[in-house]
Structure 1
Amino acid sequence: MGIKKSRAEQMVCKLYSNIALILLVVAVLAGCSSSKENSPATVTPGKEVAEQTTNIATMAPAGETSNKFDPPVEVTMVNLAYGAIAFGPNEDMNNNRWNTYIKDHYGISVKSLWDAPGDQLEQKTNLMIATGNLPDIFLATPKQFVQLNNAGLIEDLTDVYEKYAPQNIKDIMSQAGQEVTDAATVKGRLMALPWTGSVKESVPVVWIREDWMKKLNLTGPKTMDDLLAIAKAFTTGDPDGNSKPDTNGLPIDKDFTLINAFLNGYHAYKDIWIKDSSGKLVYSSVQPELKTALAKLQEMYKAGEIDQEFGVKDTSKVTESIGSNKLGIFLGSMGGGNTLAALTPDVKWNSYPIPSIDGSQTLLQHPLNINYGFWVVKKGIQHPEVLYKLADAWFKLFYENKDEDIYVKYNSDQKTAFFLQAPVQVYKPYKNMETSIHLAPILESGKTATDEELSKLTPEERLNYGFIQKYMAGDQSFWKYASRSGIGGAGDIVSQYVQNNQFKPDQFVGAPTPTMVQKGAILQKMEDQMITKIITGAPIDQFDQFVAEWNKLGGEQMTQEVNDWYNNN
């Protein structure tokens, strides 16, 4: 059958592209980790994720885990105002379709006391905490979470989680990473539900221009040496054909946000805390692996393979270089095809895993996988399990639903983002990767999807399938969808990362230590200056001088404080 684009499908792409705009910035995590043996159980992401994501249940109004309250119970909340149109005619934060659904199917009456935009939510919540007049459930920053726990104002959710949290929420927590559970746990007791994020599936892949590869007769990189050879060829081989030495191999910006993936290929990590061979936490930027990687970057800079003016260019300037055909390599997320398609609309880029310098597995660094903070429950409420029922309602309507009418009613009708009405939200860590997994059997068959096969997809997945079909029929404007979710797309690479557990999370998830607060900014400035100087030609031994000064000026004390936190928790 042909692909008919429905009402839901017409707007899904726009809706999901805007989700990033409403996600709040990950906060510096508060002191709240715990011993793992007392934490709610999680699994290492790998085969389990693929198994979980290939058997997603169809949307049901109220599953067996809902245990509808009769008579309904009332729960008070305060809300985040996203700055987008979330309510239809005659709707408001206490009279809307999500609240009606939740009351009808879960027996929970949600009463919102107030809402505030993201830039005001923390301040208003602080004032609320100061008065002691807390709602039953609310969103807390990491710092507020620590304050609330220390004051004994929030509910211990350990037993509630084990007894009442539905499997879909436990799966999200498992996939988000053990460190996310640890962040919500204090001395072995789970004290909150983290607002999980998607930073794990956003770790980089290597994007390389296909036309330049073909012109220079190059093949995709399997090792770091292969990637270095491509970078050199793109610098010296005149890939743009203008007979001028005006192209570079490796993208780099003044803040070094684009080179983490390159460093990771050398088993070096920047600005995170990692475990050394003895199990002690150490700061990644003072480890010898970084010195090795910087020596290579210095060599590439001297050879012209790195923009000689990178020190004054931010990421937006680097992307301008891509758009002006001066760069043919980009280190970006699985969704990087969207950016590249906009910058070079007539060019196809191929994606590859981040290679390793020595053949051992590359681990991709990432911060804690949360958005904003934690959902907490006021101590002493009669039914703390309400938190998990509200999260279950979100999961069923936003993620599991396959019905287009339900999608339009509860998620978006193209004009209104109804999903923002949901009282409690958590994000699937691998939602976009799952799209690739779900489409793969259909695309690999080489046949047009049947009605039955399409019915098993979500509206967004059906939309992606239709777009990929158009690309396969010859429409280059739909390449960006195939670049992520098509056969051989970046989604397959992230799936490989997940299967191999190729992640390197920041191991320090505590509140900023006293030395971090006092000297962190100075030490960071020293680090960035050192990196810039070495790349541009300073003696490589300046790295060792930096390490000595870093330790002397506060780094040694900061390391002790981090390990005291780790040992205490």
Structure 2
Amino acid sequence: MKKTISYLLVMGMAVLSLAGCGKKIDSGSTVLSTQDTTNDSSSVTIKAVIKDLSADDEVSVKFLEAVSSGVSKELGREVHIELAPISDGTYSESMSLLLQSGEIPDLMYFQGGDYQFAITQGILEDLNPYVNNSTNIKALMQPFNNQRLANYPYLLWLSPDRIKVPVVRQDWFDAAKSSKALLDNPSTENYKAFFKELKENNNLKAAFTVPGDISELDTVFNVAFGVKSTWIKEGDKYVYAKVSNAEKEKLAFYADLYKEGLLDNEWLTKKWDTKESAFYNGEVGVVSGTQGSVINIYNNKMVTQNGENAKLVILPPAKGAAQGYTPGDVSKESRGWAISKYSDHKDVAFAVLEYMAGKEGQLLDKLGYEGEEYKIENNEIVLTDKISEWWPRFHESIANFDAPISSKTPYFSEAALKSLEMVNTYSSFDNAFVIPDEYATNWDASQALYIEFAADVISGNRSIDEFDQFVTDWNALGGAEITEYANTILK
């Protein structure tokens, strides 16, 4: 029976990229762009920076040739996407070095480090006019995308929001007597009772683990304790949530989980790989993962290793002062596509993004090639084993992805689809804003202070009674000044 994916999202995830070199400019120079005209049929090369793709890699070359061919047919002119390597190191650092050298690609993917080029140096194009005149991209835009583009019009990233949800094995969940109470009323007390039973029933090292920081625990419990946004009201003033009374209560709860062995005692040294292996190997019962594609990976790996009964259940956010997963930050996209303000081919660069958001482009981006990642049987798409090695290079969103995929080989597992649905139900927007440059150093120092204090309290090295002193220290590091600024811009 034909299974059609056509899923409307309000919140949703991501990963990927583009890399290369373009027009060279002198620092401080002003270059007026020569835009493509609609009747121009000349050949054009779009120079792009593509993370994780290489001109020396056959898969990368084949993919970009297919994209170039599709865009060429769409525009009626020959378009080539040219990859150029960037230096070794972290991606954001390598991008920064490239741009600071004066080599500005037409089309580029950022994964951090974009702010100085968009705001300080002003080399990134405002994408609002392009999106407003688009068809395919506009159809994929979700409310959080629209908010981010309005606040910061230099990055476009069409993906489910990077909200994490907690998951547990179905067989372990069904065997726990406390699971029904948890679903009926996911209070912090009922979560704690569920964690205890889960650990005891399955002889676990811990009920929950995280990879070195508490953000994956926060997605379950923050809102329940009243930490509903980055800045919360106490009286008639906004205060930073991490120095609020609600945060104090939450950290005390986490310390109890740690003391009782429900939170992994090795959480501070856990990495992504050791967190995931502990989950698959049955050492811990619950982890959090990004809705959509990451949950799909977690589910498929768990089933492969432990059988169909071990498929994943998506757990609800805890309920207390309010209920919800981590609010989505709409101050800006944390990653995404940008176009050079200096490019002579801005319209063509955007046309690449527009094509990949259309039906033909999405099929290539999400499913790869017929005869390799999928085959056609009885007018349905049947995915092959090679699909596990494929990922979307441009747009991860499955909004309006309407492909006749066979129910025998679904694109997303039930758990992945449920995670998208749950985030849609329990989603909200955060009130975070981009910290201005003049506060950035103090802000980084105050964040480091919080991370250290929270880790010490949770691990039992400091008492929660020291919270007031922590707040005093935080304010002295510049927190008071940043809080004063926050109260001038938050309504």
TM norm structure 2: 0.71
What code does the residue aligned with 1:503 have?
Answer: S
**Residues 134, 378 of structure 1: 8 Å contact kept:** no
Say which SS state the counterpart of residue 239 (structure 1) adopts: helix
The CA deviation at 1:496 is 3.8
1:528 maps to what in 2?
451
**Residues 224, 319 of structure 2: 8 Å contact kept:** yes
The CA distance in 2 between the partners of 1:493 and 1:252, in whole Å, is 19
Mapping of residues 168-317 of structure 1, within 5 Å: 168-185=136-153, 192-200=154-162, 202-211=163-172, 213-214=174-175, 216=177, 218-219=179-180, 221-222=183-184, 223-224=186-187, 225-235=189-199, 238-240=200-202, 247-267=205-225, 273-274=230-231, 276=233, 282-317=239-274
The CA distance in 1 between the partners of 2:312 and 2:83, in whole Å, is 48
**Residues 210, 216 of structure 2: 8 Å contact kept:** yes
Say which SS state the counterpart of residue 258 (structure 1) adopts: helix
Structure 1 residues 85-94 or 274-283, which shifts more? Answer: 85-94
Give the direction of change, closer, same or farther, for the CA distance of 1:207–1:403 in structure 2 (3 Å limit).
Answer: closer
**Partner residue of 2:324 out of 351, 362, 380:** 362
Residue 473 of structure 2 is aligned to residue 545 of structure 1: no
The CA deviation at 1:502 is 1.0
Give the direction of change, closer, same or farther, for the CA distance of 1:275–1:181 in structure 2 (3 Å limit).
Answer: farther
Give the direction of change, closer, same or farther, for the CA distance of 1:269–1:231 in structure 2 (3 Å limit).
Answer: same
**Residues 48, 108 of structure 2: 8 Å contact kept:** yes
Say which SS state the counterpart of residue 483 (structure 2) adopts: helix
**Partner residue of 1:466 out of 373, 395, 408:** 408
Mapping of residues 430-509 of structure 1, within 5 Å: 431=398, 457-458=403-404, 461-462=405-406, 465-467=407-409, 485-486=413-414, 489-498=415-424, 500=425, 502-505=427-430, 507-509=432-434
Residue 74 of structure 2 is aligned to residue 105 of structure 1: yes
Structure 1 residues 114-123 or 525-534, which shifts more? Answer: 114-123
The CA distance in 2 between the partners of 1:404 and 1:428, in whole Å, is 8
What code does the residue aligned with 1:214 have?
Answer: A
Residue 44 of structure 2 is aligned to residue 74 of structure 1: yes
**Residues 183, 509 of structure 1: 8 Å contact kept:** no
In structure 1, stretches of 5+ residues that fail to align are 4-18, 25-66, 186-191, 436-455, 469-480
1:449 maps to what in 2?
none
Say which SS state the counterpart of residue 84 (structure 2) adopts: strand
Residues 233-271 of structure 1: CA deviation (Å, up to 9, x unaligned): 234xx313xxxx75533334542243122333424559x
Say which SS state the counterpart of residue 242 (structure 2) adopts: helix
**Residues 98, 410 of structure 1: 8 Å contact kept:** no
The CA distance in 2 between the partners of 1:535 and 1:252, in whole Å, is 13
The CA deviation at 1:327 is 2.6
What code does the residue aligned with 2:468 have?
Answer: D
The CA deviation at 1:349 is 4.5
What code does the residue aligned with 2:476 have?
Answer: K
Residue 117 of structure 2 is aligned to residue 147 of structure 1: yes
The CA distance in 1 between the partners of 2:260 and 2:367, in whole Å, is 58
1:385 maps to what in 2?
347
What code does the residue aligned with 2:164 have?
Answer: V
Mapping of residues 511-522 of structure 1, within 5 Å: 513-517=437-441, 520=444, 522=445
**Partner residue of 1:330 out of 287, 290, 303:** 287
What code does the residue aligned with 2:48 have?
Answer: V
Structure 1 residues 245-254 or 275-284, which shifts more? Answer: 275-284
TM norm structure 1: 0.62
The CA distance in 2 between the partners of 1:253 and 1:160, in whole Å, is 39
What code does the residue aligned with 2:140 have?
Answer: I
The CA deviation at 1:181 is 0.6
The CA distance in 1 between the partners of 2:310 and 2:63, in whole Å, is 45
Say which SS state the counterpart of residue 332 (structure 1) adopts: strand
Q: CA RMSD in A?
A: 4.7
Give the direction of change, closer, same or farther, for the CA distance of 1:109–1:358 in structure 2 (3 Å limit).
Answer: same
Give the direction of change, closer, same or farther, for the CA distance of 1:276–1:313 in structure 2 (3 Å limit).
Answer: same
**Residues 165, 385 of structure 1: 8 Å contact kept:** no
The CA distance in 2 between the partners of 1:313 and 1:109, in whole Å, is 49
What code does the residue aligned with 1:210 have?
Answer: D
The CA distance in 2 between the partners of 1:405 and 1:253, in whole Å, is 30
What code does the residue aligned with 1:530 have?
Answer: F
Residues 206-233 of structure 1: CA deviation (Å, up to 9, x unaligned): 3245246426474253312332221122
1:59 maps to what in 2?
none
The CA deviation at 1:284 is 2.8
Residues 45-93 of structure 1: CA deviation (Å, up to 9, x unaligned): xxxxxxxxxxxxxxxxxxxxxx974534635423325246897699689
Give the direction of change, closer, same or farther, for the CA distance of 1:315–1:290 in structure 2 (3 Å limit).
Answer: farther
What code does the residue aligned with 2:403 have?
Answer: L
**Residues 247, 327 of structure 1: 8 Å contact kept:** yes
| Corresponding residue pairs, total | 444
Residues 370-411 of structure 1: CA deviation (Å, up to 9, x unaligned): 464441243584x64334322221122565549999943999
What code does the residue aligned with 1:71 have?
Answer: S
1:376 maps to what in 2?
339
Say which SS state the counterpart of residue 101 (structure 1) adopts: helix
Mapping of residues 549-564 of structure 1, within 5 Å: 549-560=473-484
**Residues 221, 317 of structure 2: 8 Å contact kept:** no
**Residues 237, 487 of structure 2: 8 Å contact kept:** yes
The CA deviation at 1:161 is 3.8
Residues 465-494 of structure 1: CA deviation (Å, up to 9, x unaligned): 2146xxxxxxxxxxxx8xx633xx352342
The CA distance in 2 between the partners of 1:279 and 1:197, in whole Å, is 36
**Residues 77, 113 of structure 1: 8 Å contact kept:** yes
The CA distance in 2 between the partners of 1:311 and 1:366, in whole Å, is 25
The CA deviation at 1:22 is 4.7
Say which SS state the counterpart of residue 141 (structure 2) adopts: helix
Work out the percentage of aligned pairs sharing the same amino acid.
17
**Residues 184, 374 of structure 1: 8 Å contact kept:** no
What code does the residue aligned with 1:255 have?
Answer: D
Give the direction of change, closer, same or farther, for the CA distance of 1:124–1:76 in structure 2 (3 Å limit).
Answer: farther
Structure 1 residues 169-178 or 388-397, which shifts more? Answer: 169-178
What code does the residue aligned with 2:434 have?
Answer: V
